[in-house]
A and B are shown apart, each in its own frame.
Chain A
Amino acid sequence: MSGLLDALLLSAGYNAALVAIGAALLGFAAGAAGTFLFLRKRALVSDAVAHATLPGVALAFIAMVAAGASGRDLLGLLAGSALSATLGLLAVGWITRTTRLSEDAAIGAVLSVFFGFGVVLLTVIQTMSAGRQAGLESFLLGSTAGMLFADAAVIAVGGAMTVAATYLLRRPMTVVAFDPDYARAAGYDVARIDLAMMGLVMAVTVIGLKVVGLILIVAMLIIPAVTGRFWTERSEHVLWIASLTGAASGYVGAAISATAPALPTGPIIVLVATGFFVVSLFLAPVRGVAAALVRHRRFQHRVHLRQGLLALARAEPIHDRFTLATLARAGLIRPDGVATEAGRAQAAKAARDEHRWDAARRIHQDTALTGRYDGLTPIEAVFTADEIAEFDRLIEGPRIVAASEPVGAR
């Protein structure tokens, strides 16, 4: 445990501190870029982008070796990865636009074909000079051992720039994510904004190759964004929560992995992020499962209560067991199904309210008010007391002949 504490306080060694900071920045950037991808309902495009980096990395390696360089220069490899990822992205767009195939098919095709080609190139490299390939496979799952300061600097600078760009572009990206047709009509350049968004995703992917590898960077682009969604209905807040969750996952995950040699950084970071996700899924007050269950039960209760009261008012037999149970729990019927005093009174009110709504529709031509009828909204919430009195006068006016008591006597 003290090892973990040391790691969290950045005193577990130079490499560990570097990795932790780098991972935190990466997580922040991934949460931010991933939020818009998620809002735009294109989460898995990140998978295609990530897998499409492989051929670029391999080709960059081959090119650098052919040019006499060491073949392990991070910037060179990342440049190659960005290039092939861009090609992959363009291919997805092209397939979706020009053929009848849907976007998921395009994503899957690009993902698998580019990755397959990348695998072919990896085996080519293997034959070129045995042993040299070992560095490239680390891009699949990430490898933070022996991270150089230069590497961490690349990640830090790249991450910071990505975050800044995301923050600056957040308003146009949100409008486009929510309703692209509206955005187009309002004058936004949707194509450019989409491009910018994908560019940010690409930047995060490329930066993350070293820390978590291409297969797991997708996790960092999706999981924090989804986590953020559970806590709020406002997209700007989703952005903040996703970024912070991503950063926390990166930092804590890197710290945990520093405490033992058999704990690889990438997977631990992803699992920490997943932990945040699971907690949010169940416990978040806005959209979490627990909250939704409570809301649904309350809603069911209201519906059955009202239906039950209306049935009582009409002296109709009630068959639905849930309705009977709801009425009984509220003390409105006796165990034998006969209405109690309170039940009769409330049933009468429910029936009267239905007639009041009918009267309202005749008197008020304004559907903003009468359109609020949904069976459950109380009429007092929509109309004033004297308006309701007007409805009552209409109901009990001379047209009604069936009342057995003179009007006004109670």
Chain B
Amino acid sequence: MTALGPDFVQFSLTPILIGILAAIACALPGNFLILRRQALIGDAISHVVLPGIVAAFLITGSLAAIPMLLGAAGAAIMAVILIEAIKRLGRIEPGAAMGVTFTALFAAGVLLLEQSDTSSVHLDVEHALMGNLESLVWLEAEGWASLIDPAALAMLPPELARIAAVAAFVSVLLIVFWRPLAIATFDEPFAATLGLPTALIGFALVVVSAIAAVAAFDAVGSIIVIAMFICPPAAARLMTDRLHIQVWWSVAFASLAAILGYVFAGYGPLWFGVENAVSAAGMIATVSGLILALACLFGPRRTRTGRPGETAA
């Protein structure tokens, strides 16, 4: 079985793992974003990540990961605050407020990019948009045995540890704050009468989404992150009427999209007789879209239940 031999461990294992973890980290908060009709905040966050990393680069002068990620996270949080401010101050509907904010910030990011001295260091816009999952390989591995070899493990791509940590963080938060999140999402006035800090809960959800987006964008690029926020949870929503089961489905769909997407991107062209691979991130998004399409066509709970009172007593 050469398909799963040492080549696989060297070239495919870590990208697939990173892809799965990135997808899950985004899909988990995505469940609640969709239920709160805030799905497009992921769109907004993904676009402002670019100005964030450009600003970080201009300030620190380095392309190291941590400053980049801090810059992106800072930009995401600033964008969220700006959106809220514009919504309230200008009394503008949320979609338009988001649209104004993230397009303006994105334009600023592109401008800064062109202005900065990129002759010495190359900040690739396309990389930021589309990621580089295929290059997160584990060349030091020699086969499956390397999984228990501390020396080889030390040479794992750092992106893996980062995204694993973030995915774990997001999962833990979701478990701990499950109840307030569910109640505040379902019936916000009722949650307020219970004394739950509904505004804080909403803000925290968006901040956690921003953190997941920033961690994932490193691997799959910012635009694709939106697909991960929305498609697996949306497909899951059409499968069940229980919230916790919906979350499990979203994890399953996210993992499936990551695995199949990577495989099709890497090996698919070979089936067509073409040597080069295509974009893994793009293919993951496409596969998640196909899963969603299938759910829209065949999901057991896909239809609306209708307006209240219309069903038989």
In the assembled complex, which residues on chain B have CB atoms less than 8 Å from the CB atom of A100? 237-238, 301-305
Contact of A216 among B106, B227, B285 (CB under 8 A): B106
Q: How far is the CB of B293 from chain A (nearest CB, A)?
A: 9
Residue numbers in B under 8 Å from A107 (CB-CB): 39-40
**B110 near A: Cβ within 8 Å?**
yes
Residues 115-156 of A at the B interface (beta carbon under 8 Å): 115-120, 122-124, 126-127, 137, 140-141
**List of A residues within 8 angstroms of B103 by Cβ:** 215-216, 218-219, 222-223, 270
How many Å from the CB of B207 to the closest CB on chain A?
19
The answer to whether the Cβ of A356 comes within 8 Å of any Cβ in the partner chain is no
Question: DSSP majority for the A interface?
Answer: helix
Known contacts A108-B226, A119-B282, A289-B90; decide if A44 and B99 are in contact (CB<8 Å): yes
Residue of B nearest to A110 (CB): B289
- Report if A226-B126 is in contact (Cβ < 8 Å); known contacts: A120-B265, A262-B115, A267-B111: no
Within 8 A of A (CB), among B272-301: 274-279, 281-286, 288-289, 292, 296, 299, 301
Is A47 in contact with chain B by the CB < 8 A criterion? yes
Question: Which of B98, B111, B227 sits near A263, CB closer than 8 Å?
Answer: B111
Known: A216-B106, A267-B110. A43 touches B95 (CB 8 A): yes
> Whole-angstrom distance from the CB of B37 to the nearest CB of chain A?
5
Q: Which stretch, B12-20, B71-79, B228-236, touches the partner chain A?
A: B228-236
Q: Is A367 an interface residue (CB 8 A)?
A: no
Please determine whether A119 and B107 come into contact, CB atoms closer than 8 angstroms.
no
A200 to B42, CA, bound (A): 26
| B121-135, CB < 8 A from A | 125-126, 129-130
Inter-chain CA distance A124–B39, complex, in Å, is 30
Given contacts A112-B231, A116-B283, contact A281 B90 (CB under 8 A): yes
- Contact status of A99 and B283, CB under 8 A, knowing A107-B40, A108-B230, A222-B103: no
Cβ-based interface call for A365 (8 A): no
Known: A215-B106, A216-B106. A229 touches B92 (CB 8 A): yes
The interface residues of chain A lying within 8 Å CB-to-CB of B111 are 263-264, 267-268, 271
Q: Answer whether residue A36 sits at the interface, using C-beta atoms and an 8 A cutoff.
A: no
CA distance A100 to B126 in the complex (A): 35
Q: Are B230 and A222 in contact (CB under 8 A)?
A: no
Contact A274 B110 (CB under 8 A): no
A341 to B114, CA, bound (A): 70
Residue of B nearest to A268 (CB): B111
- Cα A262 to Cα B118 with chains together (Å): 11
Q: Is the CB of B303 within 8 A of A226?
A: no
Let me know if B91 is at the binding interface, CB within 8 A. Answer: yes
Asked, given contacts A100-B304, A216-B107, A274-B104, whether A112 binds B99 with beta carbons under 8 Å apart, the answer is: no
User: Closest residue to B89 on the A side, CB-wise?
Assistant: A289
Q: When chains A and B are docked, how far (Å) is the Cα of A266 from the Cα of B180?
A: 43
> Cα distance A112–B288 when bound, in Å?
10
Contact across chains for B282 and A123 when beta carbons are under 8 A apart: yes
User: Please, how many angstroms separate the alpha-carbon atoms of A409 and B286 in the complex?
Assistant: 88
In whole angstroms, how far apart are the Cα atoms of A109 and B301 in the complex? 18
Q: A124-B278, A218-B99, A223-B100 are in contact. Are A111 and B43 (CB under 8 A)?
A: yes
Most chain-A Cβ atoms within 10 A of its Cβ — which of B92, B126, B237?
Answer: B92
Within the complex, what minimum Cβ distance (angstroms) separates B285 from chain A?
3
User: With A44-B43, A127-B274 given, is the CB distance from A226 to B34 under 8 Å?
Assistant: no
Identify the closest chain A residue to B88 (Cβ): A289
Find out whether the CB atom of B226 lies under 8 angstroms from the CB atom of A112: yes
B71 → chain A, closest Cβ, in Å?
18
Return the contact of B107 from the options A44, A117, A123, A267 (Cβ within 8 A). A267
Tell me, in angstroms, the Cα distance from A292 to B91 when the chains sit together: 10
Structural contact, A287 and B90, CB atoms closer than 8 A? yes
Nearest chain-A residue to B292 (Cβ)?
A109
Nearest A residue to B305, CB-CB = A100
Mark A residues whose CB is within 8 Å of B: 38, 41-44, 46-47, 51, 94-95, 98-102, 104-105, 107-109, 111-120, 122-124, 126-127, 137, 140-141, 215-216, 218-219, 222-223, 225-226, 229-230, 262-264, 266-268, 270-271, 274, 277, 281, 287, 289, 292
Given contacts A100-B305, A120-B265, could you give 14 more A-B pairs where the C-beta distance is less than 8 Å?
Answer: A41-B95, A105-B39, A112-B227, A113-B286, A117-B285, A119-B282, A127-B269, A219-B100, A219-B104, A222-B96, A223-B100, A268-B111, A274-B107, A277-B100
